[in-house]
């Protein structure tokens, strides 16, 4: 009988990460340190290992586009979002194949421009309510404050519900989920998330409490009838055979929109407040722009806020809320002249690419003006970066469905709050990143509220 001899796989060069380096990343909760070491050689494609997983870091915008757009149908979600299904189930962020395509088609109308125009008034009023609740001299954690604000916005716009009273419960669920997701990206993490440890029991209990909240929203909607919101759309959806969407699927989509739908924008806004405090000249330019508008700017004022949108864009360049995109290959793929085997993980990192001096002059500087054309208009191509060098919302067919929603929300919320307030970080407070599924401030951002 013939014996098949497996030929060794040829792999591109990359760092040999030691067990000590990996353990240090686990302890510090900074997997970005590992990616920075992998990227240090400047290779187009670099191989590295995390435990038994073979991973490949894409080092150029061209390769990022080639994988995510060109080979999109030959890939599935990466390691982090594979594990995110423990919390999000088969929602839009984690589902694959025909289920994902069906759910995206169903939800897409909720994010059309006409809907976002209507949402803008609720975004503005929520930001005004937040500004009204602040008092001069108070110290507020702006990371938490922005989380409360964006959750209120998601509740009002997508679920026609006031989630202000549920904010602590949702914040706890999100923190528990992010801790589990961060652990899952490192060696042994997925196994730890399945063992009957206190953290695993906490994850299950938190998920059950979140389900109870969502079941309450579903019951209220069924009692009241169609409210014209996303949850009403999900409940009214019918398969070709006339059957309704299973409650489990409805719950998964609501979980995804509730958690992922507010967390990324909250992080972007929190980091924006820090950067504006650190750069008073940029804050002055922002204030000059928004002071020319009426109190509480609305959707029609967005074209008059190019500098505000530029602040948001530059914040997401330096502190991308989604800092890494992982794809598991479903087949062998040719990249940069190398054959990347099926089951490998291909990694594109916003944290790395958005700060690469090859694509961004003075990459660590906070320069919102790089996003403005000579006439002072916002232009996402103004920095001159190649396509694929900036992707805070992803790329290709899996680009974030709520991208336009998030741009509108972040711009209006920042402008509305900055008309009245200029928060300042407490002296000597440590600032660091906490990269899990999203990029959070590791120690919060306690800031003193200063009226303008």
Quick check: 24 and 313 in contact, CB under 8 A? no
pLDDT at 3 (0 to 100): 47
Separation between Cα atoms, residue 412 and residue 295, nearest integer Å: 11
Band the pLDDT of 193: cuts 50, 70, 90: low
The more confidently predicted of residues 72 and 66 is 66
The answer to whether residue 13 is domain-embedded is no
The answer to whether residue 65 is domain-embedded is yes
Between the alpha carbon of residue 51 and those of residues 9, 16, 341, 363, the distances in Å are: 17, 12, 17, 32
pLDDT digits (tens, 9 = 90+) for 282-330: 999 999 999 999 777 999 999 999 999 999 999 999 999 999 998 999 9
Report the CATH number at residue 192: 1.10.630.10
The answer to whether residue 421 is domain-embedded is yes
CA 206 centroid distance within chain: 21
The answer to whether residue 14 is domain-embedded is no
Tell me phi and psi for residue 124, to 5 degrees.
Answer: -65, -45
Angle CA(261)–CA(71)–CA(317) in degrees, nearest 5? 45
The answer to whether residue 10 is domain-embedded is no
pLDDT digits (tens, 9 = 90+) for 232-284: 888 888 877 778 888 888 888 888 888 778 899 999 999 999 999 999 999 99
The more confidently predicted of residues 188 and 326 is 326
pLDDT at 182 (0 to 100): 59
Exposure string for 406-424, b = 16+ CB within 10 A, e = fewer: bbbbbbbbbbbbbbbbbbe
The answer to whether residue 334 is domain-embedded is yes
The answer to whether residue 1 is domain-embedded is no
- Tokens representing 101 are 């395509």
Q: Is the pTM of this model over 0.85?
A: yes
Whether the pLDDT of residue 380 is over 60: the answer is yes
Band the pLDDT of 183: cuts 50, 70, 90: low
The answer to whether residue 11 is domain-embedded is no
- Split into its structural domains, the chain has a count of 1
Whether the pLDDT of residue 191 is over 60: the answer is no
Separation between Cα atoms, residue 343 and residue 346, nearest integer Å: 9
pLDDT at 26 (0 to 100): 65
Q: What range defines the domain where residue 332 resides? A: 19-448
Whether the pLDDT of residue 89 is over 90: the answer is no
pLDDT at 169 (0 to 100): 80
Name the least confident of 56-60, 81-85, 322-326, 363-367: 81-85
| Dihedral (Cα; 353, 358, 360, 363), 10-degree rounding | 80
Separation between Cα atoms, residue 124 and residue 132, nearest integer Å: 12
Angle CA(426)–CA(432)–CA(78) in degrees, nearest 5? 145
SS3 per residue for 119-175:
HHHHHHHHHHHHHHHCCCCCEEEHHHHHHHHHHHHHHHHHHCCCCHHHHHHHHHHHH
């Amino acid at each position: 009988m013939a014996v098949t001899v497996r030929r060794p796989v040829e792999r591109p060069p990359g760092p040999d990460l030691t067990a000590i380096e990996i353990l240090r990343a686990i302890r510090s909760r900074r997997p970005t340190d590992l990616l920075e070491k992998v990227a240090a050689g400047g290779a187009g494609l670099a191989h590295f290992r995390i435990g038994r997983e073979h991973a490949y870091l894409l080092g150029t915008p061209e390769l990022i586009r080639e994988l995510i757009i060109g080979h999109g149908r030959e890939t599935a979600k990466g390691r982090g979002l594979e594990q995110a299904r423990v919390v999000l189930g088969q929602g839009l962020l984690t589902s694959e194949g025909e289920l994902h395509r069906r759910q995206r088609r169903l939800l897409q109308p909720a994010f059309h421009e006409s809907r976002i125009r209507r949402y803008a008034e609720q975004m503005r009023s929520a930001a005004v309510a937040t500004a009204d609740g602040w008092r001069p001299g108070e110290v507020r954690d702006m990371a938490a404050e922005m989380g409360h604000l964006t959750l209120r916005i998601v509740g009002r716009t997508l679920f026609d519900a006031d989630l202000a009273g549920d904010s602590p419960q949702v914040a706890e669920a999100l923190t528990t989920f992010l801790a589990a997701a961060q652990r899952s990206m490192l060696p042994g993490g997925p196994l730890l998330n399945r063992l009957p440890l206190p953290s695993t029991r906490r994850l299950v209990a938190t998920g059950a409490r979140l389900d109870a909240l969502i079941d309450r929203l579903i019951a209220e909607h069924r009692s009241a009838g169609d409210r014209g919101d996303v949850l009403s759309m999900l409940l009214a959806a019918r398969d070709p055979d006339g059957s309704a969407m299973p409650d489990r699927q409805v719950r998964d989509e609501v979980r995804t929109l509730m958690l992922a739908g507010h967390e990324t924008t909250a992080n972007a806004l929190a980091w924006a407040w820090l950067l504006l405090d650190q750069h008073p000249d940029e804050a002055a330019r922002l204030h000059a722009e928004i002071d020319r508008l009426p109190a509480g700017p609305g959707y029609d004022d967005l074209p008059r806020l190019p500098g505000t949108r530029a602040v948001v864009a530059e914040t997401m360049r330096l502190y991308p809320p989604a800092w890494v995109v992982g794809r598991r290959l479903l087949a062998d793929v040719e990249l940069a002249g190398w054959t990347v085997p099926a089951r490998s993980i291909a990694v594109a990192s916003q944290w790395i690419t958005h700060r690469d001096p090859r694509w961004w002059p003075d990459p660590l500087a906070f320069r919102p003006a790089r996003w403005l054309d000579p006439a002072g208009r916002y232009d996402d191509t103004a920095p001159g970066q190649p396509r694929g060098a900036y992707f805070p919302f992803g790329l290709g067919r899996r680009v974030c469905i709520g991208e336009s929603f998030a741009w509108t929300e972040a711009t209006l919320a920042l402008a509305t709050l900055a008309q009245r307030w200029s928060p300042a970080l407490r002296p000597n407070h440590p600032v660091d990143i906490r990269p899990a599924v999203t990029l959070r401030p590791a120690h919060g951002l306690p800031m003193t509220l200063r009226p303008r």
